[in-house]
Amino acid sequence: MTKHAAYSSEDVVAAVAAPAPAGRHFTSFQALKGAPLDCKKHAAVDLSASGAAVVGGGPWFESMKASSPRRAADAEHGDWMEKHPSALAQFEPLLAAAKGKQIVMFLDYDGTLSPIVEDPDRAVMSEEMREAVRRVAEHFPTAIVSGRCRDKVLNFVKLTELYYAGSHGMDIQGPAACRQPNHVQQVVHTQAEAAAVHYQAASEFLPVIEEVFRTLTAKMESIAGARVEHNKYCLSVHFRCVREEEWNAVNEEVRSVLREYPNLKLTHGRKVLEIRPSIKWDKGKALEFLLKSLGYAGRNDVFPIYIGDDRTDEDAFKVLRNMGQGIGILVSKLPKETAASYSLSDPAEVKEFLRKLANKKGARQP
């Protein structure tokens, strides 16, 4: 492994093995040989009934304490930037690669369109960012792909002309044909199903998710600062405001509940535990589904651009690498192992990139 900082050590994954339920799923993609591997959330966590969870040979809470990525040395950062150059610095070559092709824009929300904040309910995007997204959507099909509940993301973004893939892509809906921008009408007018794109990958899990939500909410009442967020097809147990000595208690309570639900999996994020159905569906599959719904499956005249900051966005980056079309852009100030081709340092640079893209497109139109 290189010296590049991987995603933080708190971002580990633990899955309770279970067969994927029958339904409409895409074939799994294998990472390209030689492509950088994503290490975020990939350390195994023991969810057995005996003992505390152990990550990387140490107690779970020690892993959390050491979770902040270290600051990279200048030489290391420079080496990483050579491999993942700024999408702003390389804007013209990037635009040249998309010449003659239909750009389709995919955007994560938290950490991409809005900064990471202590209270998830306050992750509000600025009016300037909303305007940048709106202008891009005037020219290109645009989707928001988030771990949040689809309705919550729509409430944050407030743009009905976009496509929304919530719950890590498990809940997808697009605008009706009568409300779609002209560029979308041109692409999908021959597809009856695209009049209102709608797909839910894990509807059968809704009763179970609701049951676990009630159970966890009751258990978290005894831990000050802990809260359970219902994201429809997944649950987020936030402990950012929990005292450090209580972190392990949060982890133990969640694990004790999930022992009764073998068809759910547990992922650890940045001071959040996420509970999701154990199905073969992720943001990469959501990207594929939306491209297919827009009529671009198997075509070489499409140029998808996916911008995201999280480990879950790596699934989409890898799909684009395997397609050999479009680009992935990682939002990060620090070197991280990623399948993205380009980088932007923060939401402010994302906003600038979107503005430049909309301005260039607008200038070329009569």
Give the pLDDT confidence of 214-236 residue by residue, as tens digits: 999 999 999 999 999 999 889 98
- Mean pLDDT in residue range 41-48: 33
Confidence of residue 199 (pLDDT cuts 50, 70, 90): confident
**Catalytic option among 11, 38, 108, 313:** 108
Q: Is the pLDDT of residue 131 over 50?
A: yes
276, 264 Cβ separation under 8 angstroms: yes
User: Between 3.30.70.1020, 3.30.70.100, 3.40.50.300, 1.10.40.30, what CATH number should domain 204-277 receive?
Assistant: 3.30.70.1020
- Mean pLDDT in residue range 89-107: 96
- Mean pLDDT in residue range 295-314: 93
pLDDT value at position 54?
36
Where do the structural domains in the chain lie, given as residue ranges? 121-175, 204-277
What phi and psi, each to the nearest 5 degrees, are found at residue 273? Answer: -105, 130
Based on the residue annotation, tell me whether 315 is a catalytic residue of this protein.
Answer: no
pLDDT value at position 196?
59
35, 321 Cβ separation under 8 angstroms: yes
88, 346 Cβ separation under 8 angstroms: no
- The CA distance from 2 to 111, in Å, is 25
Q: Is the pLDDT of residue 56 over 60?
A: no
The model's pTM is 0.73
What phi and psi, each to the nearest 5 degrees, are found at residue 352? Answer: -65, -40
Confidence of residue 308 (pLDDT cuts 50, 70, 90): very high
pLDDT value at position 228?
93
Q: For residue 128, with 0-12 CB atoms within 10 Å meaning exposed, 13-18 middle and 19 or more buried, which class applies?
A: exposed
Closest CA to 327 of 313, 340, 315, 309: 340
pLDDT value at position 62?
53
Q: Is the pLDDT of residue 57 over 60?
A: no
Strand partners, 295: none
pLDDT value at position 238?
86
Name, in order, each residue with C-beta under 8 angstroms of 338's C-beta and a sequence gap of 6 or more. 36, 38, 84, 314, 317, 328, 330, 332
- Mean pLDDT in residue range 38-52: 34
Q: Each residue of 251-271: pLDDT tens digit?
A: 999 999 999 999 999 977 668
